[in-house]
Amino acid sequence: MNLNPQQYAVFGTPIQHSLSPKIHAAFGTQCGIALDYRAIAANTDGFPSALAAFVAQGGVGANVTLPLKAFALSQCATLDAQATRAGAVNTLIRSAKAWHGANTDGIGLVRDLTQRHQLALPGRRLLLIGAGGAARGVLGPLLDAGVVAVVIANRSLEKAQALADQFAAQACALTQLPAQGAFDLIVHASSAGHGEFSLPSWPASLVQTGTALVDLSYGLAAKPALAWAGELEIQAVDGLGMLIEQAAEAFYLWHHARPDTAAVWGMLRADF
């Protein structure tokens, strides 16, 4: 028996309700890999010192979530192609003396949508709401999977424009949404649902027959967007499946083993 399992953690704020420790523990059990994966609260100010303390305690792998996905780039000596393209990381891999940053969010989302939910992506006109680290992580892989005519809507137009310029998309402020017409796929990647519950003020004109809404959050944070989709009677997918798939890809980067995500999906879906 290994009495000193390898140390992994997810960093972010808020973090106490994160399902990542449960998911990685289940993957470890499935694959016969001893690991210790915990949740550590950190914001951008505290993250560098929290990460250094984690390394001192034997930390060899980490995930980062809101609000650290773009900021954590500064802690990485090297980056994989997806992290470089996104300008954001969600997975850190420790080498002898430094962190290597990867981004498994996009591959996780595309796998969840196409394989679990049978949602065909080629030719779908995409509205991406949000322009932070989560949005940056999924945009490239969604384009690779075939979405078209992308519009990025964000509270701050400047941030949407910067991301749109990089990916040859259109940008608008949230207040300009009524002028955008309808989309086939709406991906909500902002952190707006993490505050008070209220329906988003997105216009119904964004929706037409066959539109699907995907919220990258899960649990309480996803509820406002899912309720909006429910009122408009369109297909809605929350971020639980993406969370599990991005975790499986991170698990593969750390342990070179592929866990059975369907089993973990079955275990968690009942609660969320």
Q: Catalytic positions, please?
A: 69
> How far apart, in Å, are the Cα atoms of 259 and each of 77, 80, 251?
28, 22, 8
- Of 10, 15, 39, 66, the one binding ligand ATR (CB under 6 A) is 66
| Structure-block tokens of residue 256 | 């070179």
Using CB under 6 A, pick the residue from 22, 38, 155, 223 that binds ligand ATR. 155
Does 154 help bind ligand ATR (rule: CB under 6 A)?
Answer: yes
DSSP conformational letter for 102: E
Closer residue to ligand ATR (CB): 69 or 111? 69
Matching residue, tokens 């408009």? 232
CB atoms within 10 A of CB 44: 13
- Considering CB under 6 A, how many residues would be counted as binding ligand ATR? 18
Among 191, 223, 227, 253, binds ligand ATR (CB under 6 A): 191
**Which of 163, 151, 144 lies closest to 81 in space, CA to CA?**
144
Among 91, 190, 211, 246, binds ligand ATR (CB under 6 A): 190
Residues 223-252 contacting ligand ATR, CB under 6 A? none
- For residue 202, how far is the Cα from the chain centroid? 21
Question: Does 59 contact ligand ATR by CB under 6 A?
Answer: no
Say if residues 128 and 164 touch (Cβ distance below 8 Å): no
Q: Which is nearer to ligand ATR, 122 or 195 (CB)?
A: 195
Q: How do beta strands 91-94 and 78-79 pair?
A: unpaired
Provide the binding-site residues for ligand ATR, judged by CB under 6 A.
66-67, 69-70, 130-135, 154-156, 159, 190-192, 195
